[in-house]
Amino acid sequence: MAEHGADIWWNFVPACAGCNRWKNGRSARLWVRDMDLHHRYPKVGFTSRAMRPEVFVGIPRRVAQTQREIADIDRRDWFRHHYGRETHKGKANMFKVLERCKEELKGYPYRPWIAPKVRETDADTCVRRMCCGWKDPQAWFSAPTMILAEKDRTAFLRAAYQAKLYPGDLLGELVREHLAKLDESIAD
């Protein structure tokens, strides 16, 4: 953190404890400036430890990217709903949660927080069609269990994601197609 450690999102910089102490209360911008000056004028002593230029030169870009991600309200609300209720005991636990989130997101053809909402709600409840479509007022849960082998289940989910549909929507489409065929055969 910088700027005297205020707990506001634009004041946080992703850094390990050693680098955070090394930054010593400077903002990320000032710290990068000092790193740059240290490499330009090494004898003046702008910093006590030098970091390779290819490392520090990308820091402003990474900080700006993190700030953009945090400023995206839909993304922030989606993450808070799906992962924010977990308590994080230390950074190691937090990184496990982030890895789990990244792994889950690999299955989506696009980010679920840009999917349409099934209804309006407060920020603490996710109602995105891609991940939480079951909260749609028209959603129906059938008592029978759909039994599929794992490879068929994976293929079904992949088909839903490729069609950019919530799995329940794809299942609904398949049921409607089947019912339409039944109606045709009865009419004949």
Per-residue model confidence (pLDDT) at position 177: 92
Burial bucket for residue 146 (CB in 10 Å: 0-12, 13-18, 19+): exposed
Beta carbons within 10 angstroms of residue 82's beta carbon: 19
Is residue 183, in this structure, part of any structural domain at all?
no
Show the tokens assigned to 142: 């059938």
Beta carbons within 10 angstroms of residue 167's beta carbon: 18
Is residue 155, in this structure, part of any structural domain at all?
no
Distance CA(85)–CA(24), nearest Å, equals: 32
User: Which residue did the predictor score with more confidence, 5 or 67?
Assistant: 67
The total domain count for the chain is: 1
User: Which residue did the predictor score with more confidence, 130 or 14?
Assistant: 130
Query: Domain range for residue 36?
Result: 1-71
Is residue 63, in this structure, part of any structural domain at all?
yes
In this predicted model, what pLDDT tens digit does every residue of 27-85 receive, in sequence order? Answer: 777 777 887 888 788 777 766 667 777 777 777 787 788 778 888 888 888 888 888 77
What residue spans of 41-166 are helical by DSSP H?
53-56, 59-71, 73-83, 91-105, 129-132, 150-162
Is residue 90, in this structure, part of any structural domain at all?
no
